[in-house]
Amino acid sequence: MKAVTWHGKRDVRVEEVPDPAIKEPTDAIIKITSTAICGSDLHLYEVLGPFMTQGDILGHEPMGVVEEVGADVEHIRPGDRVVVPFNIACGRCHMCGMKLYAQCETTQVREHGMGAALFGYTKLYGQVPGGQAEYLRVPQAHFGPIKVPDGPADERFVYLSDVLPTSWQAVEYAEVPEGGSVTVFGLGPIGQMTARIARHRGYRVIAVDGVPERLEMARRHGIEVVDARAADDVPDAVRGLTGGRGADSVIDAVGMEAHGSPGAKLAQTITGFLPDAVAAPLMKQAGVDRLVVLNQAIDTVRRGGVISVIGVYGGMTDPLPMLRMFDKGVTLRMGQAHVKRWIDDLMPLVTDDADPLAVMDLATHRLPLDEAPRAYEIFQKKQDGAIKVLLRP
């Protein structure tokens, strides 16, 4: 089959690889019909190479049709149309019983002290072959895959793999008070959908970004925006819109590669050119993130407010303004999305023909799988108005 494979910093290729096969009775094989490039895939493209191996298959936002199931898989069968959550969970352990599926005790990657395994996402998360391919082996398929109805386009459902539940959790964790305000930093795919969900739930949304196409997409869906390029002081600009107090809640949808942290960027760049045997343990013990957005979030949130972090961070020695956070009484919540926890909330919205979250207006590029190298490049460089890229095998 064809698959998108990692070969080094900014080097992804489409190659022929062996077809996947059933290995365990809880496996399934899915023929992929749509798969997306996630903003966190760009961290593999740029920063997290020391935890990758040449030939790793990328991707964790797939959907398709069931080809084959193992003996213990009963809730799906060949021919079913399914979306595959990005995290792999058993549905049976203590953590899954608490609906903390991203911490599944069956698939935790204990060798590296990490949570549940993820598709296509480094040795830290199990090095499971990903979904930017023609076929995908799905472990724990007795629980994971989400059945969706036949008929509507893939774009109505593919974001249930990651974007929608991640965004829903970001808003849920933000604990916005009734009628309150929330500032969303970053208007990539997660930030766009987070802002729409927050507005759908009745909150005042102020979104921050500096990319014209992203700002225009947010405005198109009724989101109030702050242009980071034009604001001398973004937190002060938000306070000016909120009676001088700041937003009730703030969502960081940017993460480790935020613009405006030259020292951390230099450290990430240098680490990226070290041999993997040196770089990987260094990043696990002393890695730093670009924290400009998180620091702005801390400054922007009102006293006693909540910060929800959904952008991916990977540092181990990040300096945080603890005095400022303590004095303001800030609550900080974060983590990988517990995908299946939020599906019951989301399914009525994506099956509604009115498309209340405008899922049909998120992808800016729809490309064949063979064009994945170009897709990664334009997404990473924010070229050609790229906000969300879908690949079709």
**Pairing of β 81-83 and β 181-185:** unpaired
What's the whole-number mean pLDDT along residues 130-135? 98
- pLDDT attached to residue 265: 45
Residue 165 has pLDDT above 70, yes or no: yes
User: What whole-number distance in Å separates Cα of residue 127 and Cα of residue 352?
Assistant: 36
Percent of the chain clearing pLDDT 90 (strictly above): 85
User: What whole-number distance in Å separates Cα of residue 47 and Cα of residue 90?
Assistant: 30
User: What whole-number distance in Å separates Cα of residue 101 and Cα of residue 87?
Assistant: 8
Give, in order, the Cα–Cα distances in Å from 390 to each of 100, 197, 230: 28, 21, 31
Tokens for 243, please give them.
């009676």
Residue 279 has pLDDT above 60, yes or no: no
Structural domains of the chain ordered from first start: 2-162+338-392 (3.90.180.10), 166-334 (3.40.50.720)
Residue 272 has pLDDT above 80, yes or no: no
User: What whole-number distance in Å separates Cα of residue 265 and Cα of residue 64?
Assistant: 37
- pLDDT attached to residue 379: 94
As to burial, measured by CB atoms within 10 angstroms (0-12 exposed, 13-18 middle, 19+ buried), residue 71 is exposed
Question: pLDDT band at residue 369, thresholds of 50, 70 and 90?
Answer: very high
- pLDDT attached to residue 263: 42
User: What whole-number distance in Å separates Cα of residue 149 and Cα of residue 318?
Assistant: 44
Q: Which of the residue ranges 36-50, 270-284, 309-323 would you say has the lowest mean pLDDT? A: 270-284
Question: pLDDT band at residue 256, thresholds of 50, 70 and 90?
Answer: confident
**Pairing of β 224-227 and β 204-209:** parallel
pTM to 2 decimals?
A: 0.92
Write the CB contacts of 94 (distance below 8 Å, at least 6 apart in sequence): 105
- pLDDT attached to residue 273: 47
Give, in order, the Cα–Cα distances in Å from 195 to each of 177, 207, 217, 266: 15, 7, 11, 31
- pLDDT attached to residue 281: 53
* Between residues 348 and 313, the one the model is more confident about: 348
376 contacts 38 by C-beta, under 8 angstroms: no
* Between residues 337 and 259, the one the model is more confident about: 337
Read off the pLDDT of residues 27-79 as tens digits, 9 standing for 90 and up. Answer: 999 999 999 999 889 989 887 788 899 999 999 999 999 999 999 999 999 99
User: What whole-number distance in Å separates Cα of residue 386 and Cα of residue 391?
Assistant: 13
What's the whole-number mean pLDDT along residues 317-323? 89
